[in-house]
Structure 1
Amino acid sequence: MADVTRLDPIDGPRAPKINYTRPSSPRTRLDNSSAPPTNLDGGTPTAYLRERLPPGLDARFTMVRPLGDGAEASVWLCTDEKGNEVAVKLYRHEPKYALEFGSEQYRTHFPPEVAVQLLEAPGMDHGVHYELMELCRFGTLESYLADRGGFGTNKHAVEILTQIADAIHGMQGTAGSNRLVHGDIKPKNILVRTDIPLDLVLADFGLTVDLGDRSRLTNLGLGTIAFNAPELMRYKTTAADWWSLGMVMYQVLLGRGYFQLDNGSWIDNRTIESHLLSRDVSLSELDDSKVRPEHLKRWRMLLAGLLTRDPDVRWGMPEIKSWLDNKSPKVHRPLDDAARGDEPAVGQPAVHLASTSYALPGVGEFFDAAKLGAAMSSNPEVAARSLAGKGRQRLIDWLTGSARTGETYSEVSSHGSKWGPDELVPYFVARLAPAADLIYQSCNISSPSRLRKLADSNGNDDAIEKLYDHDLLGCINSGKSRASYKMIDANWHDIAEQAIALARSKNIPLESSARSHIIRQSLLIAASDDAVVDEFVRQVRSRIDGPQFEFAGETPWFARLRSEAQL
């Protein structure tokens, strides 16, 4: 999403900080979609956005100068008939809101202490959706720092951190209320209401989502990707806003964004996305920043805690408060990456080359091997696609490197080209998540009873034959329910091979359907206990003695085989 809001809001004393714990209330939503847009005097929404106010607003305000213009909206400094200054934001598309303006939930999450204030409910004027906002005279945090040549003293940097952290915490709410995630925290969406004392507030809530205390899956890809948490490309959590705070503080301390080049331009989104999915944010450039040497260690700890790729262990408000109290909360990623010898490409920021996570396309990013195995079990087709080509080696490299599972996965090498992605999925699931279901060729092969059900049903001959030919069962014997799989696999092949060899020795012709039948019945016997096998033999005797097999007695090889087997 392009930069949207660049505001300049009202002077005034900073309101005192408050306790943000408030009672929960139902979620509501603004939706003006039922109101059809209209155009008067030949005007169009585009013209209103770029040249003048729509008629209703034009009757109330005078445009002074533009404050910002982006892909989603333009913002203008305007005055009313009394000379009061406001910021008027004109949207190019209808915005969606997580909470209704003026509701109890809205007041809970967007009090004056944490958020730029709307002066009235958002509206629509001749097809243009708009907001009237307070005017923050000192502009955005980005312009504020640029005008002053950086953050100044260490005390000033700590105050910036404290202000933004308080704003995020207040906006998100507590675990007992409807949680919100901003989704687009960056220096241009943090406004400076007053300079002395410093008063920072959040702006641009177009991406704000009501989580209801849960993660939210999304493929929207919204937000400014250079400040986005790695997981924000797939799902939204409150932890994503704390990552963004880490990227904001990186820019505060170093004077440029992590993905920003020395000439002020930004690396392309595809490259940024690739880095976010596979590499840690390097902290090595802190050594060359304006941060004083005696403060480097503390700031490195803070950035590492916030820029931890696993959202489950990423720092949030409790850890920041502890850090501000000069304590040392646990950090779940390396504090110092300089010793790794990772060299950035020419013109690129310093980043880690070693992957610390494994991304399953369209499903999620995983830092834990067991969680990855469970996800592969639930998404076997996606997992199979990810293991095609060089995918198998990429996974093995991650498991043996970053994940450190302690296994070598030698079966993959020993079976060579015999195993394709369909075989690799149940193999890795069995190794990583032994309790998860194993799906092969759309068939559940998780336990001996599942194998018997597979062999006793129709329409699965192809899956059974592939399972037989690829020697897979003996390699997925992890887990209590599959402890006998190695023996089942050995017995299955022995029974089937004996039956096929016997048929050939008796000159009994075996078409492909006959071979499939032998393999199926052999699996049924191998996966069964003695009682089941005895029952199977009883049923075979009964069928042979039945009238439907009377004609078979006229076939010499069948009569001879029956006699030798004493059936």
Structure 2
Amino acid sequence: MRLPEELGERFAVVAELPVQGAESDLLLVRDGGGRELVMKVFRRGYHADRDVWAKLPSLGSPHVVRILETGSAGGRDYEVSEYAEHGNLRTLMDGPLDAGTVGEVVGQLAEGIKALHDAGIVHRDLKPENILVTAREPVATAITDFGLSRVLEQSVVFASSSRTLAYAAPESLSGQVSPARDWWSLGMIVREMATGRPPFLGLSETAVVDHLATRPMPVDDVADPRLRLLVRGLLTRDPRRRWSYAQVSAWLGGESPEVVEDAAAASGAVPGGPGAAPGGAGLPFDGRRFTDRRELARALVERWDRAAVYLFGRGESGEAWRALRDWLAEIPDDSRIELVDRYLTSPDLTADAKLLHLVRWLDPDLPPHYLGRRVLPEDLPGLAALASEPGHPDHRTACLLGKSLWDERLLGVLAGFEGAHELARVDDQWRRHVAAWNELGRWLRSQDALPLSAKARLPETGAAETPVAGQVPPDEPPVVLLTLLALAARPAETASALKRAVARRYGEDVPWFAWLVDGAADDDPLRLLAVVRTQPEAAAEAQARLRDRRTEEIRAEEIRRHWDERERLRLEKRDASVRRAVGWSLPILAFWLAGSWVIAQLSGGGTKLGPSGWFVMLGVVAVLAWAVQCAAEVFVARAQGGEYLPHGPWALLSRALSASGRGMNKVGQVMRGTPGKRSFVPFALVFGVMFALLLIALAAATPAGGLLWMLVMPAAAVAHAVAAGIRLHRWRTARAPADPTRGPADPTSGPADPTSGPADPAGGPETHGPLFDGRTP
């Protein structure tokens, strides 16, 4: 795991601790001074109780782990605490512990729990993994991990039902929070230390819930009688009668405080069948008979799943329903008639919705609950985080809860509980957000700039029917729906979280995402949600583009390497090419001089200069003409290096000579520079014959052959130089596409901008999009 950037600059991750929580990651880190510490980084959607953070530093108990630092980084809360190198209590429990060791641990944990409760903090998740061993001889322990802790302003409240089930008190199944929960957990820990066996080993979660809700914990397997008494007192099902610090202190002092147990609960059965309610007045449920409507309401909340099926699972034909109706008829409250006729017998309501109406009627002063979970505005944002984590144990419940609140419009019902009137406003705002989101989603999905993978992450939500497959992506699990609920319940906090979650850096490589981010104003949370939803696709596309660029860079580097090697070899042959250019030009000089001598002999006899003077004059012109031709070839040879001969003027002549017949093949080999016998005899023979024919023609054609020859040589030299320039230009043009330093495009450039085209993907000015809060998105 990588730490948020601001933490990564101060701490180095050493390892992930083997014990991880459902709400957080636990890491062993090292600070700048080399000190090893434990860092707890909450997962997105989970936040520590700030009141707990404020109280922890002042506890000062040696049996509560000292929290060194708390804060938020990268949108995630974190805690930094001391590191216990001896591990947690689980490392000591490889078998039953002796009574003396158990007593020492109980005394230390009792002091730690008392320090927390005196500060108004309920831990809510005590278990061996959350008890660190700070010393082994003698054993010393300290309580840690306050991620689920709550500060209470009253003795009992209802909150999230998050807990470690095996060590959870029965009342925690409904989310009830009181200090008694921690003493039950201590009792389960003591029982495990005394027996050497974890509670509920091998049982499923459903079986554990059923056991906690219906039966007491057996203590007969605790061999030591003193420890058995302690476990019985701590595992009393009724939290009002459960042992607390006073009784545990008395037990540690050698006393034997009284254990008060409910007889029916202790037995788990009464005459009439397993778990049946005793006879008499009241409504039978869960092994008891209820006469007080408020007590019944709390019992129904604690056993919600069982209560919904028990009372309404078989409709009006069920015996439990008839018993409930008869019991309601005895209550002197005329509003029961509307309750029964409008809600409890309605065929349009589910069993859970009927139970909700019943609980609200029984005790409207309760905090609002549904499916056994508390539902207050501050609880709603966490549902989106649970819905986005399929592996979380509460994932399915969060999805069912969110869909039920939407489909059955239950927030308005929950608003009827005491102190929950704000839920009605939340429901209205939620539905406005859903309508605006669906309109925004339809518009965004119509934009050609967005790829199909991004459009699939912008689903229609809140629809009564499943969207048509292939046309509109489904919101399943309902992450968008629950995010919009969080936005309605806590707009400022949710919008701030969306802003922090936007990674704008992908816009550099993904043009459609850059367009989406640029259009998302900071005060438009729905557009920010669209950005966050499509961000994974942008990240994947950015990674793909990065891989493509790296592949192209590697390919371009390989081309450059081959090109550089080719250029090195070509330039190494530059001097040899210059020598060849001079050598191949010498026959031209010989040709001009020989021709000048012949012309001088044929035309100079009748002049004042005579043949010798004409030859000198023609010879000077011949040398100058050859110098121009030789310089042109040398210039081309220096530029072309090792590629000079294959592109030289001799290639054309050699091909012509080679085509003239098999006897001239050797001449072609020599003139092309190809392997073979290098002889100048064929070359001299051919040019000698051509030269003789030309001179005869000149002498026969005009008496001014010398002047004509004098003009031919410079003209030929100029033509040669021009031809050399044309050859050099063609050579450079032919090799330009292969030159990586002169290519038509940068090999590191990415794909073309998908938003370029005849129209702006946003449709021009912001006048074509759907309205949201008076603005176009």
The TM-score, its normalising length taken from structure 1, stands at 0.50
What is the distance in 1 between the residues matched to 2:331 and 2:7? 62
Letter in 1 for 2:4: P
1:115 is matched with: 64
Larger radius of gyration: 2
**Residue type at the aligned position of 2:213:** L
Aligned match of 1:172: 117
| Matching of residue 319 in structure 1 with residue 259 in structure 2 | no
Structure 1 distance, partners of 2:274, 2:310, is 19
Tell me which residue corresponds to 2:166: 226
Q: Which amino acid aligns with 2:47?
A: K
For 2:31 and 2:339, how far apart are their aligned partners in 1? 69
Residue 179 of structure 2 corresponds to 238
Equivalent pair of 2:125/2:148 in contact (CA under 8 Å)? yes
Question: Relative to 1, partners in 2 of residues 1:318 and 1:98: Cα closer, same or farther, differing over 3 Å?
Answer: same
Q: Which of residues 69, 79, 82 in structure 2 aligns to 1:134?
A: 82
Q: After TM superposition, list the pairs within 5 Å mapping 1:68-217 onto structure 2.
A: 68=18, 70=20, 71-100=22-51, 103=54, 105-108=55-58, 110-124=59-73, 126-146=74-94, 149-151=95-97, 153-173=98-118, 179-217=120-158
Q: Answer whether contact 2:166 2:208 (CA < 8 A) is retained.
A: yes
Structure 1 residues 81 and 154 mapped into 2: Cα distance closer, same or farther (>3 Å)? same
Question: What SS does the corresponding residue of 2:163 show, helix, strand or coil?
Answer: coil
How far apart are residue 76 of structure 1 and its match? 2.4
Which amino acid in structure 2 is aligned with residue 59 of structure 1? E
Map of 1:61 onto structure 2: 11
Cα deviation for residue 211 of structure 1 reads 1.9
Give, in whole Å, the separation in 2 of the partners of 1:129 and 1:180: 19
CA RMSD of superposed structures (Å): 4.1
Residue 333 (structure 1) aligned with residue 333 (structure 2): no
Amino acid of the structure 2 residue aligned with 1:317: Y
User: How many pairs align?
Assistant: 329
Give the letter aligned to residue 323 of structure 1: W
Amino acid at match of 1:221: S
Partner SS, residue 222 of structure 2:
helix
Q: Give the residue type in structure 1 aligned to 2:212.
A: L
Offset from partner CA, 1:131-172 (integer Å, 9 cap, x none): 2211111111112333xx542x32111011111111111111
**Does the 8 Å CA contact 2:53/2:70 hold for their aligned counterparts?**
yes
- Report how far residue 297 of structure 1 moved: 1.8
2:323 — aligned with what? Answer: 424
Which residue of the partner structure matches residue 304 of structure 1?
232
| Alignment match, 1:556 | none
Question: Partners in 2 of 1:200 and 1:161 — Cα distance?
Answer: 10
3-state DSSP of counterpart to 1:120: strand
Q: 1:113 to 1:227 in 2, by over 3 A?
A: same
SS in 1 for 2:17: strand
Q: Tell whether the 8 Å contact from 1:181 to 1:208 is kept in structure 2 after alignment.
A: yes
Q: 1:107 to 1:75 in 2, by over 3 A?
A: closer
Q: Secondary structure of the residue that 1:441 maps to in structure 2? A: helix
| CA 79–297 in structure 1, closer or farther in 2 if over 3 Å, else same | same
Kindly indicate whether the alpha-carbon contact (under 8 Å) linking 2:214 and 2:268 is maintained by their aligned counterparts in 1. Answer: no
Q: Aligned partner of 1:279: which letter? A: R
Unaligned runs of 5+ residues in structure 1 are 1-49, 262-266, 288-295, 343-352, 359-364, 393-416, 445-458, 463-567
- Alpha-carbon separation, structure 2, partners of 1:376 and 1:207: 28
- C-alpha separation between the residues in 2 aligned to 1:127 and 1:268? 35
Kept in 2, the 8 Å contact 1:229–1:276? The answer is: yes
Query: Any conservation in 1 of the 2:10–2:32 contact (CA below 8 Å)?
Result: yes
The offset of 1:102, in angstroms, is: 6.7
In the alignment, is residue 256 of structure 1 matched against residue 197 of structure 2? yes
Question: Relative contact order, CA 8 A, sep 6+: which one is greater?
Answer: 1
Q: Following TM superposition, by how much is the alpha carbon of 1:319 offset from its aligned partner in structure 2, in angstroms?
A: 1.1
Which whole-Å CA distance do the structure 2 matches of 1:106 and 1:435 have between them? 48
Report deviation, 1:282.
1.1
Contact 2:99 2:227 in 1 (8 A): no
Q: Are residues 443 and 334 of structure 1, via their aligned partners in 2, closer, same or farther at CA, if it must alter by over 3 Å? A: closer
Alignment partners' CA distance in 1, 2:42 and 2:257:
42
Query: Larger helix proportion, structure 1 or 2?
Result: 2
Matched, 1:276 2:212: yes
- The CA distance in 2 between the partners of 1:377 and 1:316, in whole Å, is 26
- The aligned amino acid for 1:165 is A
Matched with 1:520 is: none
Structure 2 vs 1, CA of residues 322 and 441 (structure 1 numbering), >3 Å: closer, same or farther? same
Q: What percent of counterpart residues are identical?
A: 28
Q: CA deviation at 1:59?
A: 2.4
Matches within 5 A, 1:329-478: 329-333=257-261, 355=275, 369-370=289-290, 373-376=293-296, 386-388=310-312, 423-425=322-324, 427-428=326-327, 437=333, 440-442=336-338
Alpha carbons of 1:328 and 1:426: their partners in 2 closer, same or farther (altered >3 Å)?
A: farther
Tell me the secondary structure at the aligned position of residue 442 of structure 1: helix
The structural deviation recorded for 1:254 is: 1.2
Q: Flag as ranges the 4+ runs of structure 1 deviating above 6 A.
A: 365-368, 377-385, 389-392
SS class of match (2:213)? helix
Return the offset for 1:186.
Answer: 0.4
- The change in CA–CA distance for 1:163 and 1:377 in structure 2 (over 3 A counts) is closer
CA separation of 1:436 and 1:374: change in aligned 2, threshold 3 A: farther
Q: Any conservation in 2 of the 1:138–1:144 contact (CA below 8 Å)? A: no
**Could you tell me how far apart the structure 2 residues matched to 1:182 and 1:377 are?**
26
Question: In structure 2, do the counterparts of structure 1 residues 279 and 439 end up closer, same or farther at CA, with 3 Å as the change threshold?
Answer: farther
Q: Which amino acid aligns with 2:323?
A: L
Is the Cα contact below 8 Å between 2:135 and 2:141 reproduced in 1? yes
1:157 partner amino acid:
V
8 A contact 1:388–1:420 mirrored in 2: no
C-alpha distance in structure 1 between counterparts of 2:23 and 2:297, whole Å? 40
Letter in 1 for 2:48: Y
- Decide whether aligned partners of structure 1 residues 316 and 355 sit closer, same or farther in structure 2, where only a CA change above 3 A counts: farther
Tell me which moved more, 241-250 or 296-305: 296-305
Contact 2:108 2:141 in 1 (8 A): yes
Aligned to 2:691: none
1:180 positional shift: 2.3
Are the aligned partners of 2:123 and 2:146 in contact in 1 as well (CA < 8 Å)?
A: yes
For residues 442 and 116 of structure 1, do their structure 2 counterparts lie closer, same or farther at Cα, with a shift above 3 Å needed? same
- The residue identity in structure 1 corresponding to 2:18 is G
User: What SS does the aligned partner of 1:68 have?
Assistant: coil
Q: Report the residue type matching 2:37 in the other structure.
A: V
How many Å apart are 1:324 and its aligned residue?
1.5
Corresponding residue of 1:559: none
CA distance in 1, matches of 2:255, 2:332: 41
Deviation at 1:369, TM superposition (A): 4.1
**Per-residue displacement from partner, 1:173-227 (whole Å, max 9, x unpaired)?**
1xxxx63211111000111122234331111111111221231123x32010110
